[in-house]
Amino acid sequence: MLVGTWNLENLMLPRSGDGAPRTEAEYEAKVEALASVITALDPDLLGVQEVRQEETLADLAKAIGGQWHIALSRHADHRGIRVGFLSRTLLRIRRDTHAFADKLRPVQGDDGTEPDPHDRETSRGFLAVETDTGDGVLHVAVAHLKSKLLSYPGSGGKSRFQPHDEAERARFGAYALYRRAAEATTLRALADFLLEGAGTERDVIVLGDMNDVVNAATTQILLGPPGSELDRPQAFHKSDLGDPFRLWDIAPCIPEKRRFSRVSFGRPELIDHILVSHRLARRIAEAGTGLPEQRDDALVLPSVDQDPVKRVGTPGSDHAPVWVRV
């Protein structure tokens, strides 16, 4: 079984919002480019991010070919993009939520004195599903946490991508971190719901664009009890009371030279993650980014910067898929 996650980068109908293709030809080229990668990857289940309309995911499934089941979150961000799944097997929705975890208060999102209603919820919904794999039930949640890209209030309701001064940059950097931490905590609560304290017996995966690297504090929140990682075999193979509650990031199983899923300002970084329960962690056969048959080749991705408008109309995605085979 191969499970993956991929940020599809603005999969939208033409002229349907910020970041959308400008023409039908650009849209068709994007769908075809994405489909060619997914066809080669051949996943059993793929978590996806940055999908606007369900129609676009249906177009993508049609371009890939074969029978696919689609699930898409009802909760989009201010640009209309959402998370979802493409699956070879039937999906049953367990939870589709954007409400912060219990006891989390609203976060400060801007320079205003009162919290905005959106400061009480995640940027985009988190979607949890289950599916029968033939080897039992697989429980999977997909997420897309707050971006590290900073934007600032502009005139006419439009965002700026350059601050007025460095004090503003620092404040909005803090606001973004507050939100991503709250979202990671909420996603961890969803993981607890799926694990039910039985990760040694249940197949659970949490995946998506977490918008930060492996050792970032927000990513670490998702793991649960510390003390066991895949790159520390002695600790991993020694069972303890944390195993039923933990999630393991598959990152150490990815060949080091391909351990990135995006290039930001020329720096490769792994910000798309797959985390698995104990039962699955013990059955990892291989993991990677890009396509399995290209594991020995250099992974080539465009470098992104603070201006997302530059890539409008570009085929494919600025992220590489991340995958694991168990």
Q: Is 14 exposed, middle or buried (0-12, 13-18, 19+ CB in 10 A)?
A: middle
- What is the percent of the chain with per-residue pLDDT over 90, rounded to a whole number? 81
pLDDT at 118: 78
CA neighbor of 135 nearest in space, from 303, 312, 300, 283? 283
Mean pLDDT of the chain: 94
Q: Could you tell me the CATH number of the domain that includes residue 77?
A: 3.60.10.10
For 37-64, the pLDDT digits (tens) are 999 999 999 999 999 999 999 999 999 9
3-state secondary structure of 159: strand
More confident residue, 211 or 18: 211
The pTM is what? Answer: 0.95
For 123-163, the pLDDT digits (tens) are 999 999 999 998 899 999 999 999 988 889 888 777 888 99
Could you tell me the pLDDT band of residue 167, with boundaries at 50, 70 and 90? very high
Could you tell me the pLDDT band of residue 297, with boundaries at 50, 70 and 90? confident
* Domain span including residue 127: 2-325
Could you tell me the pLDDT band of residue 310, with boundaries at 50, 70 and 90? confident
- β pairing state of 262-264 and 303-304: parallel
pLDDT at 275: 98
Provide the number of structural domains found in the chain: 1
Cα separation, 34 vs 29, in Å, equals 9
Lookup: tokens for 301? 């991705």
- Mean of the pLDDT values across residues 289-300? 84
Q: Is 185 exposed, middle or buried (0-12, 13-18, 19+ CB in 10 A)?
A: middle
